[in-house]
Structure 1
Amino acid sequence: MSAPPKSNAKAQVAAANAMTKLAPIAAWTMLVVASLVLLGWCLQIPALTRLMTGTTSMKAISAIAFIASGISLLGCARRPRAGLACFLPNLLVLLVGTASLLEHAAGVDLFIDHLFADPEAIALGNPPGRMSQMTAVAFILMGLQGMLVSQQRMPRLAHLLAGLLLSLGALSLTMAGYGYRVGIIQMLPVAVPTAVLLLLGTLGWLVLQKPIGIMRVAFADSPGTVLLKRAGIPALLMPPVLAIAIRAAEHLLDWTHTEVVAAVGYLSGVGACAMVIGMAWLLHHLDEQQQKARRFHDAAYTDALTGVTNRRGFDEAIEHLLQGHRGTDHGFTMLMLDLDHFKNFNDDFGHLAGDEALQITGQILLESLRPQDIAARFGGEEFAVILPGTEMAGGRRAAQRLLQAFRTHDWPYRKVTVSIGIANSHPDDTAATLIARADEALYAAKSGGRDRACEAAVGPPASGL
């Protein structure tokens, strides 16, 4: 018998509160990094525009977009539904991304890239001050995501945008610093700080969204949550980390193209194997924890002497089934059993013999009932059986089967018989009224000569308990 599931609302609230702390951290990181980059452009300090020596500079217009997104994210983290104060900065991000993408696609100059001189881009033959195509697409998606989250609209679309942004951010980080060609389109390189802030900003907006889909797993208290947290981040970071490591080796060791391809293949295989082994170990660890918890659960709901469910488990099971009866009109039948003349048995043969008789009773009940039926020790020599989805006729057949099992068992010392009361659940029943009717039927069976089963009267539940 398994007890009704406990609510894990407190655990989910705690997990949600912990994850939502990421939003202000992401917002402040965007604001600080983008402000430093913008200061670098104002003072013409290349080290500040790069933040990483030897990498591509973050463009000034990209820094402005990150500042707008950071201000909006910080406002929404402090006060959901902040209105236009959060909506307008995201609209600016969307417009900046759209204008930059239009410049690339149509070959026009909308004069949003001329804030500061950009000798590096001019030397490479690239449009000065212009963000890459991938960054422009990312800002369009991030602006839309922020607008939806700040207004708490269309949560499924907001989650879809977050998924696209995460994949785009991972790709940007993997290809950061590299220019490449897609067909006839020459793709400009993405700066490493830009790629990092895109990922961080997306996660910041994601944790402020209503938890649906995969985020429900992230906020839950389950093995799936542990697996997502332990495996999701390594899976997201493995491609960019691998790309950065190979790029460093390419420059330091002067690798050829063939050696780079071989290293990519080898390290990808090693990384995939490491993740599989890590997840296998994690699943094994979670399975061990579940088995241990199951053993503790079984011990808490099992009668130590007889092996059937204890009174605590019986009380929870009957309340659960009565709620189901009221909600779905799925009835059940309860049997109340009492060993006949058990006090005399104890007096004649001793309490150890009585304990043995109780153990045999538990064995008979477990062997004679269906897997879904619940046998419980109600107290002393009295037992209760719950038959889910069974009407009175089914309860009558189960009672006769139990009577026959007690009569034919090879008992030590002397034969032990049982009296049984049968009661069918009623939509208006409480646990007390149903047990009272079953007790009345059990009393009738004992008064009628024992070693028999009697049925409770059909009708409204008895009162008085």
Structure 2
Amino acid sequence: MKGFVAFSRGVGWTLVVVSLAMLATWVSAKGPLLALVQAQAGSHAQASLALLLAGSALLSGKSAPRTSITLSLVLALIGGIGLLEFVWGRDVISWHWLDGLLPDWPGRPTGRMVPPAALSFTLLGLAGVAVVRGRAVWLREACMILIIWMTMVSSSSYGLVLPGDSVILLRRLPFMTAALLFVLVLGWMASRPTSGLTRIAVANSMGGAFARRLTLPALVLPVVLTFLFRSVQSHLGMSESLALVLASVATGALVTVMITWVAFLLDRSERQRRTVHVLRADASTDVLTGLANRRMFDATLAQALQDERAGALVLLMLDIDHFKKFNDSFGHQAGDDVLRETGRLLGEAVREQDLAARYGGEEFVILLPHSDAQRAEHVGQRILAAFRSHDWPQRAVTMSIGVAVAGQDESPEQLVRRADEALYRSKQEGRDRLTLATACAVPGAPRD
């Protein structure tokens, strides 16, 4: 975003400097820009003045918004007067006073502003007001898109004129004015990078990456291709049909290059997404059992207790019976195999929206959202039956379970403590069983 804002200010300063240099050239009839001004058929001093207003409005957009709005309104007024003079066919506010201030030199255009330039400045003034006020986003975007379209048509048509063709669309819009207008529109769009179409270009997403890399080449290519193929046709005496074939082949090749570029961006983005997914999975998954780890369980439990949409929440705390003796008798490798198989059995016993996690050592937990004590008991009994019926390699492995239903405004620590107390009672009463915890005490309620 800082780059877009810096680009906007750079465009503003460039427009101010260039327009002042052009006005100085008009006044003095000399200077490094004289040849360029003379070559711009249809260019008037009014256009340089309008560009100065536009550049100044862009620069003052944030620091002095009222000044920027005033300058933009004056710009729109100048352009609107030019359009009215063209439609009416007579002067509304004569520009002869400005012509009288300028020295007379060969080839200097006089009189009214050309209609395409007048329309562009009118739209640009309206867009500037909308940008500074932060309103009518659709209006400012429509104005800017229309200006871009006109400048592209004019610039592309100059691709025919430069090789010697006499036909040109919007020929009365000088190339220098069209180029500065194009850059100026981009500067206005970049000045507010979080709104309008520019919001897509600055987005940290796949669409933003495409917009930043492909928009400018797509805008410049028509001008370049038109000029190149018309030049080839003129200088090599090539027939129009052959030039059209070559243009089609080149266009297809460029489209292929852009598609390949897009495919490369998509592939890189997908690989980055997979890498992030793997890293996140590694950070939230227990490596040995494949279940969620303690960190993932703690975060999910805290969020579920805060989320009113989760409904009733039930916590199952499970512990493998006599696991230390199992490790002492058969070794830690066999113990790891039991933990892996436990992870698989627990994963098969829960729904997709449930969470099974390794709590630590041989302890496991299961979160059942949108559940009650009856369903929790059903899930727990199914787990106990699965452990009893499983064909364990060394000896039978059983599980003890404690169940706690979350109470209103109960903290994660309180819920875990009640489930752990229920698990302890299962151990005391003979293991390989399920025990339901007592209900959570309601704050302020009398105790028995």
TM-score over 0.5 for the alignment? yes
Which of structures 1 and 2 has the bigger CA Rg?
2
1:307 lines up with 2:290 in the alignment: yes
1:92 lines up with 2:74 in the alignment: yes
Change (3 A) 1:302 1:153: same
Change (3 A) 1:274 1:310: same
TM superposition shift of 1:131 = 4.2
Q: Give the residue type in structure 2 aligned to 1:85.
A: T
Q: Give the residue type in structure 1 aligned to 2:293.
A: N
Structure 1 segment 254-333 matched on structure 2, within 5 A: 257-258=240-241, 260-325=243-308, 328=309, 330-333=311-314
Structure 2 equivalent of residue 209 of structure 1: 192
Change (3 A) 1:374 1:239: farther
TM superposition shift of 1:246 = 3.3
State the alpha-carbon separation in 2 of the partners of residues 252 and 195 from structure 1. 27
Task: Report 1 or 2 for greater relative contact order, CA contacts < 8 Å, sequence distance ≥ 6.
Answer: 1
Structure 2 equivalent of residue 171 of structure 1: 153
TM superposition shift of 1:91 = 0.8
State the alpha-carbon separation in 2 of the partners of residues 212 and 403 from structure 1. 58
TM superposition shift of 1:163 = 3.7
1:198 lines up with 2:181 in the alignment: yes
Change (3 A) 1:353 1:158: same
Contact 2:141–2:197, Cα closer than 8 Å, also in 1:
no
With normalisation by structure 1, the TM-score equals: 0.82
TM superposition shift of 1:449 = 2.6
Change (3 A) 1:456 1:144: farther
5+ residue gaps, structure 2: 162-167
Q: Bigger shift: 270-279 or 50-59?
A: 50-59
5+ residue gaps, structure 1: 1-15, 123-127, 180-184
Structure 1 equivalent of residue 3 of structure 2: 18
Contact 2:426–2:434, Cα closer than 8 Å, also in 1:
yes
With normalisation by structure 2, the TM-score equals: 0.85
- Aligned residue for 1:175, secondary structure, equals helix
TM superposition shift of 1:176 = 4.2
State the alpha-carbon separation in 2 of the partners of residues 391 and 118 from structure 1. 93
The correspondence for 2:125, drawn from 143, 165, 168, is: 143
Deviations 1:147-200 (A, max 9, x none): 122223334433443444444443343234779xxxxx9844323332222222
Contact 1:36–1:49, Cα closer than 8 Å, also in 2:
no
Contact 2:316–2:404, Cα closer than 8 Å, also in 1:
yes
Q: Give the residue type in structure 2 aligned to 1:442.
A: L
Contact 1:373–1:387, Cα closer than 8 Å, also in 2:
yes
The correspondence for 2:418, drawn from 437, 441, 449, is: 437
Structure 2 equivalent of residue 365 of structure 1: 346
Q: Give the residue type in structure 2 aligned to 1:371.
A: E
- Percent same amino acid among aligned pairs? 34
Structure 2 equivalent of residue 235 of structure 1: 218
Q: Give the residue type in structure 2 aligned to 1:430.
A: S
Contact 2:153–2:170, Cα closer than 8 Å, also in 1:
no
TM superposition shift of 1:252 = 4.3
Structure 2 equivalent of residue 408 of structure 1: 389
Structure 2 equivalent of residue 7 of structure 1: none
Q: Give the residue type in structure 2 aligned to 1:402.
A: I
Structure 1 equivalent of residue 164 of structure 2: none
Structure 1 equivalent of residue 165 of structure 2: none
State the alpha-carbon separation in 2 of the partners of residues 442 and 118 from structure 1. 100
State the alpha-carbon separation in 1 of the partners of residues 340 and 132 from structure 2. 63
- Aligned residue for 2:228, secondary structure, equals helix
Contact 1:437–1:462, Cα closer than 8 Å, also in 2:
no
Q: What is the RMSD computed on CA atoms of the aligned residues?
A: 3.1
State the alpha-carbon separation in 1 of the partners of residues 287 and 129 from structure 2. 59
The count of aligned residue pairs is 433
Contact 1:55–1:192, Cα closer than 8 Å, also in 2:
yes
State the alpha-carbon separation in 2 of the partners of residues 52 and 245 from structure 1. 25
1:60 lines up with 2:42 in the alignment: no
Structure 1 segment 83-122 matched on structure 2, within 5 A: 83-110=65-92, 111-112=94-95, 115=99, 120=107
- Aligned residue for 1:21, secondary structure, equals helix
Contact 1:334–1:385, Cα closer than 8 Å, also in 2:
yes
Change (3 A) 1:187 1:372: same
